[in-house]
């Protein structure tokens, strides 16, 4: 897909909406759009994070593998959301495995190139980092809520 | 544990935890080659240190604390205590208050005697493990027992607040005295069950009773014009005659290694028997006419009651009649005292008194300082005084049964022990004092 | 409907709470038909060491034997219910737990062969899990019946945890504290007794123990400001003094009782009784 | 003789004549009397029972009777008890429920059988308290029949105050000292006797028969002056202007904690209060669980169990409970009933064991500022209040810990409920409990219960044919009509889907009358989801179903996360949208925040609140939340209505 085409797809996402034209163009230069099928692994837990991605359409799952318990999906990612954010946070190692649950369309940025781009363009960094942080904090808040196990409540009577 | 007889012992006989008695005890018999039996009533009820618990307390606090020595006869503990403190402080209570206290005591006698006769002891004579099983074949009998027992409880509850650990007794009188209206109902109910109690005497006298014949010394209170309860002198079948505070003049406590309870002995070391039989025999002339008539109707002599311990259930039934009859008389005469209690001043000195718990003489002795605070205490419950007599009687009675199958022998020996209505919970709580003495 | 296997056992206690079961005179026979009393030494010679559907435990743990026993019993009981102040709070004998005083220790330890006793008398829940508790010294017959009914029906018993004051006011009794100046612990004490003591014109002495939210500090401050005479601490050194909310003040009172000076009351010749006998 | 209507002077020695008149027709006269040294309210047999020659000495936490040596009858201002003790008894049998051998259940409500009372010596503040109770207990949709019967048959003879106790502040509350209304007779005590005035036709008939003479102008003036003097005798006034708003603005005041350090939460203030009306109904069942005997008794918001629900206690701290009590008396009572809940009788001050003075706390927490307008009392939702017998047709497990019950009512009205309403269910052996209706069938009610406990287990064990008692449908329903022609977003968490299913049924029945309908459903795990067999049908009908779970299970390839993830990237601002949210309170808060952000105004978002419901008809007080009784005014509220109460701790 052409850089322009990618920029357009990008602006259609929550991540890309309201990005300055400048920022969209700069990002488009290193963006690649892909279609992936269910089961495709986009990021592997523990591996070096070589890419940051944005889900344009479809559904991805964040998985971890627990010895003895096998793989567990911690959370799913909705269109517009970011995956592989560890690509811009030292030590650049993935914290979970990202697997497509549905036929999905993603835009990915090469980690090396994205980091150098952000290093040399403060304005770009200033608009991109808050968006990434937004996704991370949203995920953190959700995780806490899951920990609260709210639906486990309400009993008719306490058992003996 | 070693005993001097260890070498010659050739048969050991043990009964596990005694049942249908209050508290926890075991029986251990050693039978020697020549057939002599050494009996040990092993009381392993956990010590609770009541003589220590009352130190530093005011007399009124003590009355609430000592009630907790026994859930079956809390009134007895409050009565011995309150009379001891009032005798020291020189308090004379309103006659109506004195009557109410007797009424309270009657209630406890009715409850305790009915409980023992119908629920704990009768199953021995009729051959059941418990009253609940006995009820399958003798429902009316058990229901009668519950009916009488309940009235005793209600009487204590109306006068004292509740059947177990009542709250109304205080030095100088009561915290609150009931109105005549509050007592009206129970009076009629007691009157109406009196015939049932009278029948009970005949009924238990007719029970097939093991034969046991032995001489024994009896001890109880005796009062010129009332049945022994909370006042009078300590007398024995062989001439002891003491003021209720002078128990220690003729008796002492000794420690035996196999028991958590001290035993009491007369100065000469001879065991003695307390309780209904002692009272009925030594104070038969003070029995309520209804009770005396009921006893005479059985044809049993006082001597038979004294010599055959298994007859104690008859004495208990006679006292059940007496307590109900006297309660009715007291209620008929009741007028609410103007004042529930009279003021009093604490005084330093020794406060000592004995009253008649359902099971027998209960002696309290307190040493008070100038502020009226208890500095030392001695409490001698009936069961610890009966222990020696129980062991002696076991030694006399056991040879006849130890050869029976274990279950049968156990049943017979337990029946004997139950004849004393032992309250083991009461018997245990003063080892700490002995220990102190030993050091 | 189930016929639960019931056991009734005691530790260190006065037997009053288990007697309360026999004091349910009107219901006793009906209970006998609906529950299987498999262990109840005070009432039956039949014995059973379990398993129990429910085990009623009276008394506090005060000997090493009891400490082991209660753990075994717990293992054999589906439900373990403690009954009474001794089992739920340690009872009056728990006042000896301030036994760091020389006289108390001396009283307990010199001859361990004769007396088996722990330094502390403590509630059952300090040793094993407890499923429900009936408060009181003694327990209330009505609450015992409610417990047994709930057991049989299979619901949780309705045991209110409110202050004694509510029942006192419902019964139209005039406050002995406000109108009489009596040092009443009713406001801190769990209900269940039917506001018994105020009904007999005397202060509640907390035999049902502290309720939730027992504000000991506030009432203590008030009583100390309001009254003279015997100290306020001793009010808490009663039948539930070992219960945590009361413990601190009870402890202060115990140190003031000066039990160290306790005299032996047994005659001097008592000690050689053993030799007399054999 | 006596000129009709005018004040009459009754000589002290003829007071017996008044009591004789009151006794007529077998009335029980209830008034102040001294028993065992205490002042109580009880039956009076004659004049001698009155507290002649006594007066009270009161201060915070202290009450004493002291002899005056005089012969006055009404010098004791007031004691611990108020007429509430007799018109709203502390313990009241409610009725019985029984399951017969044939498994049929029967209810027998205890019919009101009130004594005919004559209340003697009622003070101005107590008259005001009776007026408040009339409003609360007999002035709404649901009426306490026993209370109404007692009030209607009672004669009220007021005694004007000529003394004030140290705590009195009736003047501030506008309830006294003068007796103005609510009485049949009013007595003002002078040295030689009483100036008697009538306050009702019945009173006038009595006055006419009194052996008195017309009061002289001097006596009338003296009487008025003595009463007026009481106003001056009262201490620092409590500033009432704007009190409601001042208090509600101080829900976070540090003083709540400070007073909680002194408060014992012993409930004495509520027990002695002449207007507190909270009750609990306890059942006692027989050994076989076939008979329930229900008794209602005074309860208090200071008790731990009062605001407890299965999941926890909404007011765990003493500070929460004191705040609840004080704000109810002086703020939310106004919202509920259009009047204050306090009459200034000072009982809560005198009879507090540690002397907490409500006047001081009010001044410290809500110092006087600007006046505020009163909020109107809100209308009660109309629903039936009596138990009906229903029969269990069947039951099945929705999930491992959720059970659905099919109940066939004998009373068709039960089927006429609306989405979101609940029912009170009672069966022998168990207290009654609220259960939301998950479907109103053509001939059956369908209830879905989470984590079914012993009560449900017992009912299920009874099997088909088992009968239970049921009251309802109760409470305010979801405003389905407001969603007609609009978009509707339904957000359910866990068991929260049950009370929302009737909404979905309504949508399915009239699909074309609604716009876009979105159902966002969050569950603990995939196997905890309810009504999975109906999901396909919902989707087929064009309901957009989004599901998400906290924890995935093997084989689950759906969404994992929190329910807000299904919403927080959407835009609801394009068309008017109604939101309906039901689930744990925390989940509802998060959802409401997201909906607001995504374009649904709080006024258009509705939530179903959980509180401890017991009577279900707004009479027992357990489920109070700010100005509302959740059972009666809710459980469904708009987030706008709840305002800052929504998600506030300890309310």
Whether residues A79 and D451 touch (CB distance < 8 A) is answered with: no
Residue B215 main-chain phi, psi, to 5 deg: -85, 150
Q: What is the DSSP letter of A151?
A: G
Query: What is the distance between the terminal CA atoms of chain A, rounded to a whole angstrom?
Result: 64
Query: What is the spatial distance between Cα B272 and Cα B274, in angstroms, rounded to a whole number?
Result: 7
Of 1.10.10.10, 2.40.110.20, 3.40.50.12710, 1.10.645.10, the CATH number of B50-438 is: 1.10.645.10
Query: What is the spatial distance between Cα D394 and Cα D310, in angstroms, rounded to a whole number?
Result: 25
C5-153: CATH architecture: 3-Layer(aba) Sandwich (3.40)
Whether residues A157 and C156 touch (CB distance < 8 A) is answered with: yes
Q: pLDDT-derived band of residue D101, with 50, 70 and 90 as boundaries?
A: confident
- Whether C254 shows a pLDDT value over 80: the answer reads yes
Residues of C with Cβ-Cβ distance to B161 under 8 angstroms = 196-197, 199-200
Domains and CATH numbers, chain A: 3-149 (2.60.120.10)
- Whether D639 shows a pLDDT value over 50: the answer reads yes
What residue segments make up the domains of chain B, in order of their start? 50-438
What residue segments make up the domains of chain C, in order of their start? 5-153, 164-255
Between the alpha carbon of residue D347 and those of residues B154, C173, D61, D371, D383, the distances in Å are: 36, 15, 10, 27, 36
Superfamily of domain D388-474: Translation factors (2.40.30.10)
Residue A42 main-chain phi, psi, to 5 deg: -100, -30
Using DSSP, how many helices (H) and how many strands (E) does chain B show?
A: 16, 13
Two tokens, residue A55: 């889900």
Query: What is the spatial distance between Cα D51 and Cα D121, in angstroms, rounded to a whole number?
Result: 11
Identify the CATH number of the domain defined by range D480-608: 3.40.50.80
Q: Which of A156, A157, A160 to mutate to test the interface with C (most CBs of C within 10 A)?
A: A160
Span B262-272, pLDDT tens digits: 778 888 888 99
Task: Name the closest residue on chain C to residue B177, using Cα atoms.
Answer: C200
Neighbouring CB atoms inside 10 A of A156's CB total 19
Q: Name which of D88, D152, D149, D157 is nearest D127 in CA terms.
A: D157
Instruction: Report the percent of chain B where pLDDT is more than 90.
Output: 70
Q: Name which of A89, A88, A90, A94 is nearest A41 in CA terms.
A: A94
Q: Which residues of B219-229 are buried (b: 16+ CB within 10 A; e: fewer)?
A: bbbbbeebbbb
- Whether D37 shows a pLDDT value over 90: the answer reads no
Tell the residue number behind the tokens 């608009």, with chain if given: A127
Span C47-63, pLDDT tens digits: 898 899 999 999 999 88
Q: Which of D267, D285, D457 sits opposite C163 (nearest CB)?
A: D267
pLDDT, mean of residues A39-56: 93
Residue C131 near residue C80, CB atoms below 8 Å: yes
Q: Say whether C175 sits in a helix, a strand or coil.
A: coil
Residues of D with Cβ-Cβ distance to A37 under 8 angstroms = none
Beta strands in B134-240 (DSSP E): 169-170, 173-174, 219-222, 233-236
Q: Name which of C153, C146, C152, C145 is nearest C25 in CA terms.
A: C145
Query: What is the spatial distance between Cα D566 and Cα D553, in angstroms, rounded to a whole number?
Result: 19
Sheet of strand B241-242, all strands in order from the earlier edge strand to the far edge: B219-222, B233-236, B241-242
Query: What is the spatial distance between Cα D155 and Cα D122, in angstroms, rounded to a whole number?
Result: 11
Q: Name which of B262, B273, B277 is nearest B238 in CA terms.
A: B273
Whether residues D569 and A14 touch (CB distance < 8 A) is answered with: yes
Residue A15 near residue A82, CB atoms below 8 Å: yes
Q: Please, what is the Cα angle at D247 between D241 and D250, to 5 degrees?
A: 140
Query: What is the spatial distance between Cα D229 and Cα D234, in angstroms, rounded to a whole number?
Result: 9
R_g (Cα) of chain C, nearest Å: 21
Q: What is the pTM of this model?
A: 0.86
Whether residues A157 and D452 touch (CB distance < 8 A) is answered with: no
Query: What is the spatial distance between Cα D34 and Cα D32, in angstroms, rounded to a whole number?
Result: 7
Whether the CA torsion B334, B335, B336, B337 is positive or negative: it is: negative
Mean pLDDT of chain D: 90
DSSP H or E stretch at residue D54: strand D54-59
Q: Name which of C175, C181, C214 is nearest C198 in CA terms.
A: C175
| C-alpha distance from C107 to closest chain A C-alpha (Å) | 41
Listing DSSP states for D379-425 in one string gives: PPP----S-EEEEEEEEEEEETTEEEEEEEESSGGGGG--TT-EEEE
Span D455-476, pLDDT tens digits: 878 888 888 998 988 888 888 9
Two tokens, residue D246: 């001042």
Task: Name the closest residue on chain D to residue A146, using Cα atoms.
Answer: D550
* Cis peptide preceding C51, ω within 30 of 0: yes
Of the listed ranges A69-83, B61-75, D82-96, the one predicted with least confidence: A69-83
Q: pLDDT-derived band of residue B198, with 50, 70 and 90 as boundaries?
A: very high
**What pLDDT was estimated at residue D309?**
77
Whether residues C45 and B46 touch (CB distance < 8 A) is answered with: no
pLDDT, mean of residues A81-91: 93
DSSP H or E stretch at residue D131: helix D124-138
Chains D and C touch (3+ CB pairs under 8 A): yes
Q: Name which of C50, C27, C66, C209 is nearest C133 in CA terms.
A: C209
Query: What is the spatial distance between Cα D572 and Cα D605, in angstroms, rounded to a whole number?
Result: 12
| C-alpha distance from A158 to closest chain C C-alpha (Å) | 8
Task: Name the closest residue on chain A to residue D456, using Cα atoms.
Answer: A156
Residue D349 near residue D359, CB atoms below 8 Å: yes
Burial class of residue B289 (count of CB atoms within 10 Å of its CB; 0-12, 13-18, 19+) = exposed
Span D197-244, pLDDT tens digits: 999 999 999 999 999 999 999 999 999 999 999 988 888 889 998 899
Two tokens, residue A20: 């300055």
Between B52 and A94, the higher pLDDT residue: A94
Span D391-427, pLDDT tens digits: 999 999 898 888 899 999 887 878 888 999 999 988 8
Query: What is the spatial distance between Cα D38 and Cα C231, in angstroms, rounded to a whole number?
Result: 26
Span B350-404, pLDDT tens digits: 999 999 999 999 999 999 999 999 999 999 999 889 988 988 998 888 888 877 8
* Cis peptide preceding D299, ω within 30 of 0: no
What residues 155-194 of chain C have any CB closer than 8 A to a CB of chain A?
155-156
- Whether C116 shows a pLDDT value over 70: the answer reads no
| C-alpha distance from D544 to closest chain A C-alpha (Å) | 16
Q: Say whether C80 sits in a helix, a strand or coil.
A: strand
Q: Say whether A66 sits in a helix, a strand or coil.
A: strand
Span D544-561, pLDDT tens digits: 999 999 999 888 989 999
DSSP H or E stretch at residue B412: helix B406-418
Q: Name which of B191, B225, B229, B244 is nearest B100 in CA terms.
A: B229
Whether residues D271 and C169 touch (CB distance < 8 A) is answered with: yes
Between C259 and A37, the higher pLDDT residue: A37
Span D499-508, pLDDT tens digits: 999 999 999 9
Query: What is the spatial distance between Cα D238 and Cα C35, in angstroms, rounded to a whole number?
Result: 61
Residue D30 near residue D120, CB atoms below 8 Å: yes
Chain pair B-C, CB pairs under 8 angstroms: 265
pLDDT, mean of residues C27-45: 93
Two tokens, residue B82: 């309150």
Residues of C with Cβ-Cβ distance to A158 under 8 angstroms = 156
Question: Which chains reach chain A with 3 or more Cβ–Cβ distances below 8 angstroms?
Answer: C, D
ipTM of the complex: 0.84
Whether the CA torsion A119, A121, A123, A128 is positive or negative: it is: negative
Whether the CA torsion D295, D300, D301, D303 is positive or negative: it is: negative
Residues of D with Cβ-Cβ distance to C177 under 8 angstroms = 353
Two tokens, residue C49: 């060491």
All residues at 6 or more sequence positions from B422 whose CB lies less than 8 Å from its CB, including other chains: B18, B21, B22, B23, B25, B359, B383, B386, B390
A41, β-bridge pairs? A99
Listing DSSP states for D294-363 in one string gives: EEEEE--TTSGGGGEETTEES--SHHHHHHHHHHIIIIIHHHHHSS-S-----HHHHT-TT---HHHHHH
Beta strands in chain C (DSSP E): 5-10, 36-39, 52-58, 77-83, 132-134
Span D305-347, pLDDT tens digits: 888 877 678 898 999 999 999 999 999 999 999 999 999 999 9
Helix axes D124-138, D145-153, angle to 10 degrees: 140
Chains B and A touch (3+ CB pairs under 8 A): no
- Whether B278 shows a pLDDT value over 90: the answer reads yes
């Amino acid at each position: 897909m052409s850089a322009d085409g990618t920029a357009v797809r990008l602006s259609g996402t929550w991540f890309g909406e309201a990005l300055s034209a400048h920022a969209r163009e700069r990002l488009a230069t290193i963006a690649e759009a892909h279609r992936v099928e269910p089961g495709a692994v986009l990021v592997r837990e523990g591996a070096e994070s070589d890419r940051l991605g944005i889900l344009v359409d479809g559904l991805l799952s964040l998985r971890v593998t627990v010895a003895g318990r096998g793989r567990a999906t911690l959370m799913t990612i909705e269109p517009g959301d970011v995956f592989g954010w560890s690509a811009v946070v030292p030590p650049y190692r993935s914290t979970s495995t990202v697997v497509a649950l549905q036929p999905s369309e993603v835009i990915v940025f090469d980690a090396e190139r994205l980091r150098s781009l952000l290093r040399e363009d403060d304005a770009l960094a200033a608009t991109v980092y808050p968006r990434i942080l937004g996704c991370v904090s949203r995920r953190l808040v959700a995780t806490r809520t899951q920990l609260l196990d709210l639906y486990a409540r309400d009993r008719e009577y306490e058992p003996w | 544990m070693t005993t001097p007889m260890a070498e010659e012992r050739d048969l050991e006989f043990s009964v596990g935890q005694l049942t249908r008695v209050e508290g926890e005890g075991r029986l251990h018999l050693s039978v020697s080659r020549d057939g002599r039996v050494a009996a040990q009533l092993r009381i392993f009820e956990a010590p609770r240190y009541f003589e220590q618990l009352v130190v530093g307390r005011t007399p009124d606090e003590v009355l609430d604390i000592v009630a907790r020595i026994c859930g079956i006869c809390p009134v007895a503990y409050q009565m011995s205590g309150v009379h001891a403190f009032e005798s020291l402080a020189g308090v004379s209570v309103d006659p109506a208050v004195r009557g109410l206290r007797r009424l309270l005591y009657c209630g406890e006698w009715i409850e305790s005697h009915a409980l023992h006769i119908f629920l704990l002891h009768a199953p021995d004579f009729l051959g059941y493990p418990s009253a609940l099983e006995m009820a399958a074949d003798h429902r009316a009998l058990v229901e009668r027992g519950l009916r009488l027992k309940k009235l005793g409880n209600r009487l204590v509850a109306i006068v004292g607040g509740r059947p177990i650990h009542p709250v109304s007794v205080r030095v100088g009188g009561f915290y609150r005295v009931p109105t005549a209206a509050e007592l009206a109902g129970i009076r009629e109910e007691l009157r109406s069950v009196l015939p049932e109690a009278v029948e009970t005497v005949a009924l238990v006298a007719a029970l097939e009773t093991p034969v046991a014949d032995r001489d024994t010394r009896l001890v109880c209170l005796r009062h010129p014009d009332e049945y022994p309860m909370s006042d009078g002198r300590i007398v024995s079948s062989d001439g002891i005659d003491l003021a209720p505070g002078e128990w220690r003049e003729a008796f002492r406590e000794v420690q035996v290694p196999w028991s958590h309870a001290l035993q009491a002995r007369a100065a000469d070391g001879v065991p003695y028997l307390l309780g209904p039989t002692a009272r009925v025999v030594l104070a038969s002339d003070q029995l309520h006419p209804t009770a005396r008539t009921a006893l005479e109707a059985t044809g049993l002599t006082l001597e038979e009651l004294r010599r055959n311990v298994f007859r104690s259930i008859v004495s208990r039934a006679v006292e059940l009649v007496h307590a109900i009859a006297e309660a009715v008389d007291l209620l008929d005469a009741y007028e609410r005292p103007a004042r529930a209690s009279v003021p009093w001043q604490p005084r330093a000195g020794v406060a000592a008194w004995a009253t008649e718990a359902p099971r027998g003489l209960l002696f309290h002795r307190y040493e008070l300082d100038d502020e009226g605070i208890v500095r030392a205490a001695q409490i001698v419950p009936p069961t610890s005084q009966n222990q020696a007599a129980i062991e002696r009687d076991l030694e006399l009675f056991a040879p006849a049964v130890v050869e029976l199958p274990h279950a049968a022998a156990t049943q017979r020996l337990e029946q004997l022990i139950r004849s004393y209505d032992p309250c083991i919970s009461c018997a245990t709580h003063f080892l700490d004092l002995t220990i102190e003495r030993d050091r | 409907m189930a016929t639960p296997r019931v056991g009734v056992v005691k530790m260190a206690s006065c037997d009053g709470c288990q007697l309360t079961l026999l004091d349910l005179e009107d219901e006793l026979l009906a209970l006998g038909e609906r529950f299987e009393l498999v262990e109840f030494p005070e009432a039956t010679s039949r014995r059973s060491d379990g398993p129990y559907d429910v085990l009623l435990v009276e008394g506090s743990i005060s000997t090493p034997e009891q400490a082991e026993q209660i753990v075994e019993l717990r293992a054999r009981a589906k439900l373990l219910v403690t009954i009474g102040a001794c089992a739920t709070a340690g009872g009056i004998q728990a006042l000896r737990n301030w036994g760091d005083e020389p006289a108390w220790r001396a009283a307990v330890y010199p001859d361990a062969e004769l007396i088996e006793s722990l330094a502390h008398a403590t509630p059952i829940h300090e040793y094993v899990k407890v499923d429900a508790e009936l408060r009181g010294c003694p327990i209330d017959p009505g609450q015992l019946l409610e417990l047994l009914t709930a057991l049989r029906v299979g619901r949780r018993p309705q045991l209110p945890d409110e202050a004694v004051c509510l029942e006192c006011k419902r019964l139209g009794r005039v406050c002995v504290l406000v109108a009489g100046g009596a040092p009443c612990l009713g406001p801190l004490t769990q209900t269940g007794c039917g506001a018994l003591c105020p009904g007999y014109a005397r202060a509640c002495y907390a035999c049902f123990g502290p309720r939730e939210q027992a504000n000991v500090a506030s009432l203590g401050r008030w009583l100390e400001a309001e009254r003279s005479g015997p100290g306020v601490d001793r009010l808490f050194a009663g039948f539930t003094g070992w219960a945590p909310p009361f413990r601190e003040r009870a402890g202060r009172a115990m140190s003031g009782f000066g039990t160290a000076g306790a005299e032996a009351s047994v005659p001097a010749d008592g000690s050689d009784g053993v030799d007399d006998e054999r | 003789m006596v000129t009709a209507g005018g004040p009459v002077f009754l000589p002290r020695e003829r007071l017996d004549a008044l009591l004789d008149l009151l006794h007529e027709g077998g009335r029980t006269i209830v008034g102040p009397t001294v028993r065992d040294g205490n002042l109580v309210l009880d039956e009076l047999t004659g004049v001698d029972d009155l507290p002649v020659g006594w007066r009270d000495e009161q201060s915070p936490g202290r009450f004493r009777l002291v002899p005056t040596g005089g012969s006055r009858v009404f010098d004791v201002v007031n004691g611990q008890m108020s007429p509430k003790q007799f018109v709203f008894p502390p313990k009241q049998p409610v009725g019985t429920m029984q399951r017969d051998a044939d498994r049929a259940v029967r209810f027998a409500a205890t019919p009101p059988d009130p004594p005919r009372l004559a209340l003697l010596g009622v003070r101005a503040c107590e008259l005001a308290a009776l007026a408040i109770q009339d409003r609360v207990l007999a002035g709404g949709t649901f009426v306490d029949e026993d209370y109404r019967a007692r009030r209607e048959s009672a004669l009220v003879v007021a005694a004007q105050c000529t003394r004030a106790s140290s705590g009195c502040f009736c003047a501030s509350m506008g309830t006294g000292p003068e007796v103005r209304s609510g009485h049949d007779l009013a007595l003002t005590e002078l040295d030689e006797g009483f100036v008697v005035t009538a306050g009702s036709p019945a009173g006038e008939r009595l006055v006419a028969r009194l052996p008195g003479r017309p009061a002289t102008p001097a006596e009338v003036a003296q009487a008025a002056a003595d009463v007026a003097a009481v106003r001056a005798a009262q201490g620092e006034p409590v500033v009432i202007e704007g009190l409601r708003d001042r208090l509600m603005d101080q829900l976070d005041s540090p003083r709540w904690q400070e007073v909680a350090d002194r408060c014992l939460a012993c409930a004495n203030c509520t027990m002695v209060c002449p207007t507190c009306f909270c009750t609990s109904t306890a059942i006692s069942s027989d050994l076989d669980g076939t008979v329930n005997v229900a008794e209602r008794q005074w309860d208090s918001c200071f008790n731990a169990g009062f605001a407890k629900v299965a999941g926890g206690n909404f007011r765990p701290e003493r500070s929460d409970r004191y705040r609840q009590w004080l704000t109810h008396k002086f703020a939310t009572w106004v919202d509920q009933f259009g009047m204050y809940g306090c009459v200034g009788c000072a009982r809560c001050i005198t009879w507090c064991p540690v002397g907490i003075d409500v006047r001081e706390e009010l001044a410290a927490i809500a110092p006087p500022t600007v006046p505020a307008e009163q909020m109107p009392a809100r209308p009660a939702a109309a629903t039936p209040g009596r138990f009906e017998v229903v029969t269990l047709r069947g039951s099945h497990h929705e999930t491992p810990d959720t059970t659905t019950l099919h109940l066939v009512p004998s009373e068709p009205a039960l089927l006429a409920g609306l989405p979101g309403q609940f029912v009170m269910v009672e069966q022998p052996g168990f207290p009654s409990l609220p259960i939301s209706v998950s479907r109103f069938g053509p001939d059956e009610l369908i209830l879905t219960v989470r984590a079914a406990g012993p009560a449900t287990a017992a009912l299920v064990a009874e099997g088909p044919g088992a009968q239970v008692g049921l009251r309802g449908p109760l409470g305010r329903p979801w405003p389905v009509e407001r969603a007609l022609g609009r978009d509707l977003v339904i957000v359910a968490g866990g068991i929260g889907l049950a009370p929302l299913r009737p909404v979905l049924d309504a949508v399915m029945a009239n699909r074309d009358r609604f716009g876009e309908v979105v159902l966002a459903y969050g569950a603990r795990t995939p196997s905890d989801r309810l009504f999975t067999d109906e999901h396909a049908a919902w989707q087929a009908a064009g309901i957009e179903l989004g599901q998400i779970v906290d924890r995935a299970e093997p084989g689950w390839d759906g969404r994992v996360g929190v329910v807000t993830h299904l919403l927080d990237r959407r835009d609801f601002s394009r068309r008017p949208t109604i939101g309906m949210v039901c689930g744990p309170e925390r989940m509802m808060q998060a959802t409401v925040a997201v909906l607001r952000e995504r374009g649904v105004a709080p006024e258009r978002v509705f939530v179903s609140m959980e509180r401890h419901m017991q009577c279900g008809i707004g009479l027992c007080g357990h489920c109070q939340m700010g100005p509302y009784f959740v059972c009666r005014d809710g459980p469904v509220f708009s987030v706008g209505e709840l305002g800052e109460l929504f998600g506030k701790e300890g309310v």
